[in-house]
Structure 1
Amino acid sequence: MITKKRKLANAKVDINKAYSLKEASSLVKEINTTKFDSSVDLHIKLGVDPKKADQAIRGTVSLPHGTGKTKKVLVLCTPDKEAAAKDAGADFVGLDEFITKIEGGWTDIDVIIATPSVMPKIGKLGKVLGPRNLMPNPKTGTVTNDVAAAVNEVKGGKIAFKVDKVGIIHASIGRVSFSAEKIAENSQELINALVKLKPSSSKGTYLKGVSMASTMSPGILIDTKSVSN
């Protein structure tokens, strides 16, 4: 059963049209049907083969306007790093007690940062953290001795992204309460980061498709020419 609001939203989006990034960023606000401050997500189809190691795109980007969501951060570290992590705003800091909690199924966090020295202890948590994309990784800056800087970056709007098995990047880049300009600027920042990571072995079209949607709204197709530098 499609609600009246969703029908109206669907009517405003021309499924045969590829909108400019600027148009899509305004339209996504207009067609939002939820009463809460919905997340705005980008879905980017890349011309890569994720099975090939050099084409399994992953990385991080600091969005200029943040994501609009306060991320819960856990820092797993030795006692000498705990004060720095807490002062930087980490929500949870410690080691053994959190390893035990995670083994028991606790994953009520958005990002885990760890120091290199504790990684051998964390390896066994891969089964729980891997599928949820929570495993600390040097490539995303979440395995580091400078835990304070890492916490500040995450709290300031740094997001991690990773291509899925069919070559698509899914990322939250803001909220519908953001201005259209902020949605467009955050979107462009993510796309720029992906373009910089284009592997030399990727042939043909790299940015194959881009769409934008808010929670429970129809997707808006974006003209890839409007986001290419």
Structure 2
Amino acid sequence: MRLTYYRPYRPDQSRGHVTEDEISPREKLRISAKTQKMLVGAVTRIRPCGVLGVRGVRIPALVRFASKASSSSGDTSKADAKQLAAQRERAAKRESAKRAEARKVARMKDIAREAFKSPLCLDIETALRYLRAAEVGKPAKSTTITVNLGVIAEKGAALLQGTYRLARPLEEQRIAVFTTDREVEAAAKEAGASIVGSDDLIAKIRDGIIEFDRAYATPDMMGRLNTVARTLGPLGLMPSAKRGTVVSGQQIAEVISAAAGETVFKQKNSVLSLPVGRADFSDAEIIRNIITVTDAVRANIASMDSKKAPSLGLTTLTSTTGPAIVVQL
């Protein structure tokens, strides 16, 4: 924006040619767009001595960029209008996105309610009979029965994550402990650790041999484990104090006993898939496992902020090669 500065006329000032350098910063006053337009439009003539005749008032002044000053007010108003229009457009888009998100959540809830009323919604025992029939002829250990929990959540809601311990695990979990203390090594093996070692175990990892599903370490081993951090890190096996897998020797037995059979779950999309059994499990064992996982998920939801806490929607039960059957928990 082009600015015009002026100095009110005072009798004690000289009437010579006035330049910008002769006007002190304190005397420079910002003229509003309306006053600027009036001032430039009222200029009758510019005298050699620098006096402007404005509505009969004689004012010594310095007018900069007078040719463009008259249009500055219009430019300012247009810029303000564009900025206001852009703000309104952004607000409208945000409001539209909120309404679309609310419609999406309501639609998912309606789908879940309608699915539970459908004749294709089966009880768990009947669904398991169909899933076992789909797995006939396959080794029992190669089959997995999974419960799929639909998660209904607004945009920005926290993802579900936690742990659960199945009443009957699908397979025994292999736990490794990194330590140099012989007493801690004996206590870890007694508590249920599958592999216990130090440098010899790290050497196997360097060779690409990883025979465990979860790892714990004593604090004195962390410096040595840094050499294989790039191997264990992407697999989620690197011991970390933040995750509670770096423990002292006195607590190692207690921690391993609590972790035996424990499974970690973490939501990645709108469906949380959790294995609950195999085809050779009995109905009672699978039902107990289903109750365990759903209780863990509901407990995780209850611990969240109530304003954006998700809820469970459509639930299905499926197997490795079988169909997804809607069940009501």
Q: Is the 8 A contact 2:153 2:309 kept in 1?
A: no
Q: Is the 8 A contact 1:113 1:150 kept in 2?
A: no
**Alignment pair present for 1:149 and 2:149:** no
> Corresponding residue for 1:211?
316
Superposed displacement of residue 93, structure 1: 0.4
Summarize the Cα distance change of 1:60–1:135 in structure 2 as closer, same or farther, 3 Å threshold: farther
**Alignment pair present for 1:17 and 2:106:** no
> Corresponding residue for 2:170?
68
2:298 to 195, 201, 217: 195
**Alignment pair present for 1:114 and 2:220:** no
**Alignment pair present for 1:158 and 2:247:** no
Q: Is the 8 A contact 1:113 1:136 kept in 2?
A: yes
CA RMSD of aligned residues (A): 3.3
Superposed displacement of residue 202, structure 1: 6.3
Q: Is the 8 A contact 1:60 1:140 kept in 2?
A: no
Residue-by-residue CA offset, 1:67-96 (whole Å, 9 max, x unaligned): 131222211234241111112232210123
Name the CA distance, whole Å, in 2 between partners of 1:28 and 1:181.
Answer: 15
Superposed displacement of residue 209, structure 1: 3.3
Q: Which amino acid aligns with 2:256?
A: V
Summarize the Cα distance change of 1:121–1:172 in structure 2 as closer, same or farther, 3 Å threshold: farther
Name the CA distance, whole Å, in 2 between partners of 1:217 and 1:39.
Answer: 10
Name the CA distance, whole Å, in 2 between partners of 1:46 and 1:182.
Answer: 25
Name the CA distance, whole Å, in 1 between partners of 2:153 and 2:205.
Answer: 33
Q: Is the 8 A contact 1:40 1:214 kept in 2?
A: yes
TM-score (norm 2): 0.52
Residue-by-residue CA offset, 1:102-135 (whole Å, 9 max, x unaligned): 2443333222233355445545645433443334
Name the CA distance, whole Å, in 2 between partners of 1:47 and 1:101.
Answer: 44
Name the CA distance, whole Å, in 1 between partners of 2:121 and 2:220.
Answer: 49
Summarize the Cα distance change of 1:91–1:202 in structure 2 as closer, same or farther, 3 Å threshold: farther
Superposed displacement of residue 196, structure 1: 0.7
Identity value in percent: 26
Name the CA distance, whole Å, in 1 between partners of 2:151 and 2:227.
Answer: 32
Q: Which amino acid aligns with 2:311?
A: Y
TM-score (norm 1): 0.71
**Alignment pair present for 1:173 and 2:273:** no
What secondary structure is seen at the aligned counterpart in 2 of 1:55? coil
Greater percentage in helix: 2
Summarize the Cα distance change of 1:191–1:115 in structure 2 as closer, same or farther, 3 Å threshold: farther
> Which of the two has higher C-alpha Rg?
2
**Structure 2, gaps ≥5 residues long:** 1-117
2:197 to 94, 101, 107: 94
Residue-by-residue CA offset, 1:168-203 (whole Å, 9 max, x unaligned): 433322222111111011011111111111121663
Superposed displacement of residue 16, structure 1: 8.3
Name the CA distance, whole Å, in 2 between partners of 1:167 and 1:118.
Answer: 39
Q: Is the 8 A contact 1:62 1:158 kept in 2?
A: yes
Between the two proteins, the alignment pairs up a number of residues equal to 205
Summarize the Cα distance change of 1:130–1:163 in structure 2 as closer, same or farther, 3 Å threshold: farther
